[in-house]
Amino acid sequence: MSEHENQPANQGGQQQNEQHPNEADWQHQTLEKLVFSALKEQRRARHWGIFFKSLTFAYLFVLLFYALDWIGGGAGAVTDHTALIDFQGEIGSNAEITADSAIASLQSAYDNKHTKGIILRINSPGGSPVQAGIINDEIRRQRKLHPNIPVYAVVEDICASGGYYIAVAADKIYVDKASIVGSIGVLMDGFGFTGTMQKLGVERRLLTAGENKAILDPFSPVNPKHQEFAQQMLDQIHQQFIAVVREGRGNRLKETPEIFSGLFWSGETSIEMGLADGLGSSEYVAREIIKQDNIVDFTTHEGLADRFAKRFGASMTNTLIGSNIHLH
């Protein structure tokens, strides 16, 4: 083959060699773009991840604040309002309504200078005479300290026994015509297992120091002396309840032989008997009586864990003691 015939082939080889660097640069640039794109995508994903985690944390933080009642309560109200305090459920040191929470709510409502009136919204079947008595005393004490701030009890479904014990501390009581009101009485409940133990052949072996230490023991026969003692105590507490009702209602109360017997009546009948003053809801009382329809809730709410602990403690106490005194 001649020299001229080999020349084009050599030139073609040179051209191919010249293209290789360009192709390598293109691959390198493409790889760089892919790497930078991947890094950018990772950064974007990380930023969104941080954003959503922060959002979730903020949401949980707000829920925690609400659960602990640090925000959303009425203490920070800065405009004129009617203060609302809820009494929902049973009354007792380990129940839904406690003297501690009620007193905290009352103090918070009274301490706010924009409070023009207070509504005690009650829906309770009763409970502990001690807790109800402490709440009653605090309401009357605060009324004397703040004579210009009226207090009204508003009954929803039921205001019986201990619930009514609280209500009579208010200036006036408003009910729905179908509300249940009254049950001014005291009871002590428990169980006796002596018959069951005899059938099962179980022998009760009880040792005491003090002849009355085993009073009302559910596994022993009823002792007439102990029964008489317990009845005297119930009668005494009943008279205390009656005195509180008479003091709270005054001349409005139309006494009959049955009014303190433990019976209960509809809201409509309770007005006729002087147990209540009129018909009205919380909104009605705020709007028409207090003349301030801006209602702010000052109720102190317990956390779920505290509520469970109290419930558990109450059930354990009831099991161990066996008998309980209730305003029911």
pLDDT above 70: residue 177:
yes
The per-residue pLDDT for 328 is 58
CA pair distance 27, 39, nearest whole angstrom: 18
For residue 304, the model assigns a pLDDT of: 46
Q: Residue 296: what are its φ and ψ, rounded to 5°?
A: -120, 130
The candidate with the shortest Cα–Cα distance to 272, out of 188, 181, 155, 141, is 181
Nearest in space to 328 (alpha carbons), one of 36, 71, 127:
127
By percentage, how much of the chain surpasses pLDDT 90? 51
* Mean pLDDT to the nearest integer, 200-229: 78
Among the ranges given (30-39, 148-157, 187-196, 274-283), the one the predictor scored with the smallest mean pLDDT: 30-39
* Catalytic residue list: 161, 213
Can you give the pLDDT at residue 104? 96
Average pLDDT over residues 193-202: 72
Q: What is the pLDDT of residue 231?
A: 86
DSSP H helices, 68-117, are 99-111
Q: Tell me if the domain spanning 81-326 has CATH number 3.20.20.540.
A: no
Kindly list the domain boundaries of the chain, sorted by start residue: 15-67, 81-326
Given this model, what pLDDT does residue 197 score?
Answer: 66
Q: What tokens were used for 176?
A: 């729905």
The predicted pLDDT at position 21 comes to 55
pLDDT at 321: 43
Phi-psi region of 154 (alpha: psi -120 to 50; beta: other; left: phi over 0): beta
Q: Which residues contact 202 (CB under 8 A, 6 or more apart)?
A: 196
Of the candidates 62, 77, 67, 68, the residue with the CA atom closest to the CA atom of residue 297: 77
More confident residue, 307 or 35: 35
148 exposed, middle or buried (CB, 10 Å; 0-12, 13-18, 19+)? exposed
pTM reported for the whole predicted model: 0.70
**Bridge partners for 97 per DSSP:** 91
The answer to whether the beta carbons of residues 190 and 218 sit under 8 Å apart is: yes
